Amino acid sequence: MPQPPIMGDIPAVRLSQVKPFSEVGCDYGGPFSLLRYRARGAKSCKAYICLFVCMATKALHLELVSDLSSETFLGAMRRFISRRGRCNHIYSDCGTNFVGASRELINMLKSAAEQEQISWHFNPPSAPHFGGLWEARIKSVKTHIKRVIGDQLLTYEEFYTLLVQIEAVLNSRPLCPQSSDPNDLSVLTPGHFLTLEPLNAPPEDDLSGIKLNHLSRWQLISRLHQSFWSRWSKEYLQTLLQRAKWNESTIPIEINSVVLIKDDNLTPLKWSIGRVLEIHPGHDRVTRVVTLKTAKGILKRPVTKICPLPYCKSQN
């Protein structure tokens, strides 16, 4: 049996204070079947998602590409740089996990990077765990998109619209509280680093109860967007609750902790945030119910319905 070495520390690029997307990881996801155009007898084609993730803020940028060729990727990279600014370093898989282990492609990528004054870093072959940050992100995006779309065939424009909306959903996820002020319920998200304010979506009607064959094409995109939000937000809450160790006991909830409140009826890009005002220990001194302060008032919720945000312990 292989004996893996001890896990390394978080890379310095993950902790650097730089502008968003100065250091990025890149990966592909797919393929997805799309229609060339909306008409009877239209042929389908394949498309892929090209993901760029900021190493420091975990913000995402998603591009839709038609194939895995080097020219197509270079076009996606230029679109990314034009909209997010030039990055200093790009990290990606080398060969097989990225676009096919082509020496010619790697040389083209390095040449393009030198022209843009970008340092390109390739992971060792057959070592996807070296790129865990972008591997986890592309898996989350790809898995939920396939579950949401199902057998639906979208056009390139429809799929790209859905993809950009999904990008906003992922960049709206809460990372940590903005302050330890008991009256402050605001949280920091990747979107804050991109727009200096929380990301919002225009109001939409709830289409979850309408049959798919009764929806127009753009209503269908809204329905898929809402379905992605419902599935992904629940999974994200579960990831906050998971612990790789110390799983035989739980860390007690503390007063002033900022938490996410599970709510299945929230609209896309909306998160229910609360701050713990009071804890209610049982006879065994284990807290299972808490009183929360939210934007809508004071609520009492079981601990199983809240997810503490990382680093949410107040500091005096």
CATH 3.30.420.10 maps onto the chain at 18-135
**Distance separating alpha carbons of residues 210 and 275, to the nearest angstrom:** 36
The label of the residue with tokens 């990881």 reads 25
Q: Which of 17-31, 121-135, 181-195 has the highest mean pLDDT?
A: 17-31
Instruction: Check whether 95 has a pLDDT greater than 60.
Output: no
The closest of 184, 189, 214, 215 to 200, measured between CA atoms, is: 189
Question: Cα torsion for 239, 243, 249, 254, to the nearest 10°?
Answer: -60
The whole-number pLDDT of residue 125 equals 59
Where helices occur in 7-155 by DSSP H, the ranges are 70-84, 103-115, 132-149
Instruction: Check whether 55 has a pLDDT greater than 80.
Output: yes
Instruction: Check whether 96 has a pLDDT greater than 50.
Output: no
- For 220, the enclosing helix (H) or strand (E) is helix 217-241
More confident residue, 186 or 5: 186
Instruction: Check whether 103 has a pLDDT greater than 70.
Output: no
State how far the alpha carbon of 75 is from the alpha carbons of 50, 59, 146, in Å. Answer: 11, 21, 25
Question: Cα torsion for 152, 97, 95, 157, to the nearest 10°?
Answer: 20
User: Phi/psi class of residue 77: alpha, beta or left (left: φ > 0; alpha: ψ in -120 to 50)?
Assistant: alpha
Cβ atoms of 35 and 17 closer than 8 Å: no
The whole-number pLDDT of residue 285 equals 76
pLDDT exceeding 90 applies to what percent of the chain? Answer: 6
CATH 2.30.30.140 maps onto the chain at 173-315
**Distance separating alpha carbons of residues 100 and 66, to the nearest angstrom:** 16
The closest of 312, 17, 18 to 187, measured between CA atoms, is: 312
Mean pLDDT over 178-183 rounds to 75
More confident residue, 151 or 105: 151
More confident residue, 299 or 16: 299
The closest of 169, 167, 24, 191 to 92, measured between CA atoms, is: 24
**173-315 in CATH: which number?**
2.30.30.140
Sheet containing 287-294: which strands, arranged edge to edge?
Answer: 297-302, 287-294, 273-281, 258-261, 306-308
Angle of CA points 231, 232, 236, to nearest 5°: 125
Instruction: Check whether 20 has a pLDDT greater than 60.
Output: yes
The whole-number pLDDT of residue 247 equals 46
Domain over 18-135 is classified CATH 3.30.420.10: yes
Give the pTM.
Answer: 0.68
Instruction: Check whether 108 has a pLDDT greater than 70.
Output: no
More confident residue, 237 or 285: 285
Mean pLDDT over 110-139 rounds to 73
The label of the residue with tokens 């319905």 reads 305
pLDDT exceeding 70 applies to what percent of the chain? Answer: 71
Cβ atoms of 80 and 10 closer than 8 Å: no
| Burial class of 253 by CB neighbour count within 10 A (0 to 12, 13 to 18, 19+) | middle
pLDDT digit string, tens, across residues 239-255: 655 545 434 556 778 88
What amino acid occupies position 194? L
